[in-house]
């Protein structure tokens, strides 16, 4: 068995510290967000919407560059979900900017102030808010289907 070098242990400790910082809940602030924070949060929401729409239709676009981009977005989105306990980093940033509670509560009785992009988007379209489990399953289905279809189209192009 190889004994890890001191540099390896330091790098591993730094990575562990960085991952621990990313998973720590942010303190809730009660101050209302300013215009700049609301504007940036709105821009993040628009980016989030654009990425979601791109994943839904990107695999069907006729250009190989779009298929590669769709596959890359799907892979990166899946990786960041795994690193962020099934929550998108864009949602976390938007939550922080709007001064909402950072802790995500699971279950159908989650508080209405909870910022969940996919659930909010589904509610806007269908006028019914899905449970957190349903939202997670749907988000995974979109990402995996889009990534798989993009990869298949690239393989047989």
Residues 64-92 pLDDT 10s:
999 999 999 999 999 998 898 888 889 88
**Spatial distance between the Cα atoms of 128 and 139, rounded to a whole number of angstroms:** 16
Write the pLDDT tens digit of every residue in 47-64.
999 999 999 999 999 999
**Spatial distance between the Cα atoms of 44 and 117, rounded to a whole number of angstroms:** 10
Q: What is the pTM of this model?
A: 0.68
Write the pLDDT tens digit of every residue in 100-151.
766 555 555 554 444 478 888 888 888 998 888 888 888 899 999 999 999 9
The pLDDT of residue 12: 61
Give the CA count within 13 Å in the CB-facing half-sphere of 23.
12
The pLDDT of residue 9: 61
Q: What contacts 107, CB < 8 A, 6 or more positions away? A: 131, 132
């Amino acid at each position: 068995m190889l004994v890890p070098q001191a540099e390896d242990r330091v790098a591993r400790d730094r990575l562990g510290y960085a991952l621990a910082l990313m998973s720590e809940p942010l303190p809730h602030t009660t101050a209302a967000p300013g215009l700049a924070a609301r504007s940036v949060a709105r821009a993040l929401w628009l980016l989030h919407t654009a990425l979601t729409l791109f994943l839904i239709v990107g695999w069907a676009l006729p250009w190989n560059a779009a298929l590669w981009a769709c596959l890359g977005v799907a892979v990166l989105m899946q990786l960041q979900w795994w690193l962020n306990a099934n929550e998108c980093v864009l949602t976390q940033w938007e939550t922080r900017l709007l001064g909402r509670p950072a802790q995500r509560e699971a279950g159908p009785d989650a508080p209405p102030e909870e910022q969940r992009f996919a659930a909010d988007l589904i509610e806007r379209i269908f006028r019914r808010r899905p449970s957190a489990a349903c939202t997670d399953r749907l988000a995974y289905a979109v990402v995996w289907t889009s990534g798989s279809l993009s990869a298949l189209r690239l393989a047989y192009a």
